[in-house]
Amino acid sequence: MINLKANPFYLKEEDISWVYNTLKSMNLKEKVGQLFCPVGITDDEEELKAFVNKIKPGGMMYRPGKGEDIRRTHKVLQDNSKIPLLLAANLEAGGNGIAVDGTYFGKQMQVAATDDEKMAYKLGLVAGREGRAVGCNWAFAPIVDIDMNFRNPITNVRTYGSDPKRVVKMAKNCMKGMNEAGVAVSIKHFPGDGVDERDQHLLSSVNSLSVEEWDKTYGMVYKEMIEAGAQTVMAGHIMLPSYSKKLNPALKDEEIMPATLSKELLNDLLREKLGFNGLIATDATAMIGFNVAEKREVAVPKAIASGCDVFLFNKNVEEDFKFMLKGIENNILTLERVDEAVIRILATKAALGLHKQKKENTLVFDEKELKVLKCQEHEVWAKECADKSVTLVKDTQKLLPIIKEKYKRIRLYVLGDTDDGGFKEGEKVSYKVKEKLENAGFEVDIFDNKRLDFREVFEGGIEELKAKYDLALYVANIETASNQTTVRIDWIHLMAANAPWFVRDIPTMFISMANPYHLLDVPMIKTFINAYSSSEYVLDAVIEKITGKSEFKGISPVDPFCNVWGTRF
């Protein structure tokens, strides 16, 4: 039974009446449409009108675009939808999660490195304000995964780190900021990513914790976030065998399903044990982790039958719509369960006041509100976060600060800095680092990864390098991204030509702008810095700190030494 007066809805009688009257006015296809939250792929007004009229989705999500374009698209959608839409975005690191001209405040791990919960609140407020300015009302954030396994290629800097207590402290404050901006959150990815070393985009991954271990970590985080009022939960394509077997002892190993398709995890664990009364959304169902668990024709209706209320993204939305209807005909999905899901969807909209905003024509703000994107206040906060977060992991050679009188000639090696991988939001750093160091009085020569100096690679000796350079500087911008199996350093395959073979002869420093675990691959480098986000704000802070104009203040939210002997000295 859904209690619409309780957490997280807190609806009044008039709002409850709107929910049930709206439900009563809908036919089956309209109800099924509410279950879907597709990805937007066009900004053509006529195509949008036709799509909304045909599918009548409950929500939609667009990938980041120019703020004014996203706002215009959202307005067309809301103006042409009888029932207001949940318009979502991955507002994990700031307004740049929906508007490319929004503020890149910082990855969650960067925020955690400040050890200041006010920074998490400001992240939520910036992301919420800027998302709301372009018409968003639903954030697929904050991430409440725990980065237990440094080899995991997808959690990493997207998390608040490896300490469950820090995770929940930061996530609560981020949620508070988003809610104050009028945006509902979706905490993710239940039952918890970060234990497996694999990516659920590529397979159904596994949270292998015991029941007792899960309760103390992920269970504690979800329970506290639910009690604090998290409006929605995103279920991942992640299995939790220990709990699935405990809740259903008759379940065979091969029958265990990822959370998106598991009644045990969604109903018995999330709803009953943890007491979650709100809306559950699947993670993206185009992901391989969802598709390999069941035939898609079965999986589409089964996701809702198992306890999810919203079906996120599609391979083919019209085909999935047919699969949902067919699932009802074949008794995979009951009409009662459809109604229950739609009630939660409508109640979430009512809790946000979308039904009232529809009447007031305020679902999408006036274009003048776009001025909040990358406004001065948000940039000041982002710079403050950068200053507090950059972390000196080690400097056992006593290299810092670098001064131009001693280290004037720098050989710069840039690792990563590519567009490979899915939906990266970081900025390229190669020439920005060079420019900023040259402005500070250094001479910088970038090692060309694509046009190798074969004479240097095969014949160059150490005296030749020492005659040219006073310092070797490695800047790694190897970002985590969807559909990527590793975030390890991949040296140039020919003789590992860009690897630091000269570290005993030339002072060498390593700065990671993304993955904090590179000491696994470069333990020999004695000066190592983690920056967590490749934004302009962070890059400026890094240059200030290595040149001695500012002190290092960051506190590592994870073990950057990867629990590997030899990485600390």
Dihedral angle over CA of 265, 266, 272, 276, nearest 10: 130
Q: What are 82's two structure tokens?
A: 């009888």
Phi, psi of 238 (to 5 degrees): -125, 130
Cα–Cα dist 91/123, whole Å: 9
DSSP 3-state percent helix, strand, coil across the chain (nearest 5): 45, 15, 45
Cα–Cα dist 516/163, whole Å: 15
Q: Is 283 a catalytic residue?
A: yes
* Nearest C-alpha neighbor of 120 from the set 130, 101, 107: 107
Query: Rounded to the nearest 10 degrees, what angle do helices 335-351 and 296-305 cross at?
Result: 60
Convert 305-328 to b/e letters by CB count within 10 Å (16 or more is b).
bbbbbbbbbbeebeebbebbbebb
* Nearest C-alpha neighbor of 312 from the set 35, 43, 70: 35
Cα–Cα dist 437/407, whole Å: 11
Q: What are 306's two structure tokens?
A: 């198992």
Kindly provide the residue ranges of all beta strands, DSSP E only, lying in 300-379, ordered along the sequence. Answer: 311-312
Cβ–Cβ < 8 Å for 37, 58:
yes
DSSP string covering 507-522, please? -EEEEESS-TTGGGT-
DSSP string covering 509-555, please? EEEESS-TTGGGT-TT-SEEEE-----HHHHHHHHHHHTTSS-----
Say how many Å lie between the first and final Cα of the chain, rounded. 58
Residue corresponding to tokens 């720098």: 410
Angle at 331 between CA 329 and CA 336, to 5 degrees: 95
Cα–Cα dist 63/425, whole Å: 11
Annotated catalytic residue within 145, 147, 283, 387 = 283
- Active site residues per annotation: 283
